[in-house]
Amino acid sequence: MTTTTTIQLSTETKRMIGTFGTKEDTYDNIIRRIYDLAVKAQLREFLLSSHNTIPIDEAIRRAKAKWQK
């Protein structure tokens, strides 16, 4: 059996969370779905980030300079 806990939310936050579900969804299901979407968005942002990257032309130039024949 899964243990449950109580968290305090403002009524506005509860209303906003409820808009992500249907009458059949529990708040637990809605929050899990939102969490899964957030994890996917975070991974997508990490994978597609241009931070610490260089253009392919620059990478080729550096590789040719480093491994000259």
pLDDT tens for 18-49 read 999 999 999 999 999 999 999 999 999 988 88
- Please answer whether residues 30 and 18 qualify as being in contact, where contact means their C-beta atoms are separated by less than 8 angstroms: yes
- Please answer whether residues 29 and 21 qualify as being in contact, where contact means their C-beta atoms are separated by less than 8 angstroms: yes
- The pTM for the full model equals 0.66
- What integer pLDDT is reported at residue 53 of this predicted model? 86
| Unique residue bearing structure tokens 């449950």 | 4
